[in-house]
Amino acid sequence: MEINHAPAPVDRNNTEGFFGPIPLWLITLSMVLFFWAGLYLAYYSGGFKSTVFNASVVSWSGGGAGAVAAPIDMKVVGKKVFTQNCAVCHQSTGLGVPGQFPPLVGSEWVLSQDWHGDNHLVKNVLYGLQGPVTVKNIPFNNAMAPWNQLSDQQIAGVLTYIRSEWGNNAPPITTEFVAKVRADTKPRTEAWTMAELKAIPRELCSTTPNAGAPAK
């Protein structure tokens, strides 16, 4: 008697055995993971806003349960704010756009030289600047937008960054100083003019003598 060893044909239309009911444990695990992911995004996303930035968790020292937040680097905070909000006008090089937006490199406004004070610099960022201004003996006539929606720490950070970048050498601006200037200028709603600022007495954030010009 001849025995046929050929395999039986497979009925590809019969899916029984390939797709059975999903195990209850897998459904439960999936729901738990989705719930955890939702809580994680809700807590850490900051509403997915570009202006939300928690500098205290930029970096960490050590590890494990005893990890301690590293000290806040205001220049890191400032560079992030500058890149997102300021570089479009003043450029990533700090040189601005000739005839349109003034430079920050070696600017007497940034370095608080002559009649310019740290308080004038903070006021500019908080409420903006409009009308003709002179920067490094070059006239400009444009408008700077107000940025009072930024936190005191963000403003202090971005000013500290531009005062120490591109060869600039001036003392940092503190969060407390920004808060003081903000409180002193409320409830202002319109941009400053150079004439208005020049009439305001010059104040410095630090008692350290102003370093002045950019480092050689």
Q: Residue for token digits 């600022």?
A: 197
Confidence check: pLDDT of 179 > 50: yes
CA 24 to chain CA mean position, Å: 46
- Is position 47 within any domain? no
Confidence check: pLDDT of 19 > 80: no
- Is position 139 within any domain? yes
What mean pLDDT do residues 117-134 have?
96
Percent of the chain surpassing pLDDT 70: 73
Work out how many domains the chain is built from and give that number.
1
- Boundaries of domain holding 105: 74-198
Confidence check: pLDDT of 112 > 60: yes
Confidence check: pLDDT of 209 > 50: no
- Is position 163 within any domain? yes
Confidence check: pLDDT of 211 > 80: no
**45 class by beta-carbon count within 10 Å (0-12 exposed, 13-18 middle, 19+ buried):** exposed
Task: Give the tokens for residue 154.
Answer: 């963000």
- Quote the CA–CA distance of 47 and 41 in Å, as a whole number: 9
Instruction: Quick: pLDDT tens for 133-161.
Output: 999 999 999 999 999 999 999 999 999 99
- Is position 10 within any domain? no
- Is position 28 within any domain? no
Question: Taking the complete model, does pTM exceed 0.85, yes or no?
Answer: no
- Could you tell me the CATH number of the domain that includes residue 167? 1.10.760.10
- Is position 168 within any domain? yes
Confidence check: pLDDT of 90 > 80: yes
- Is position 83 within any domain? yes
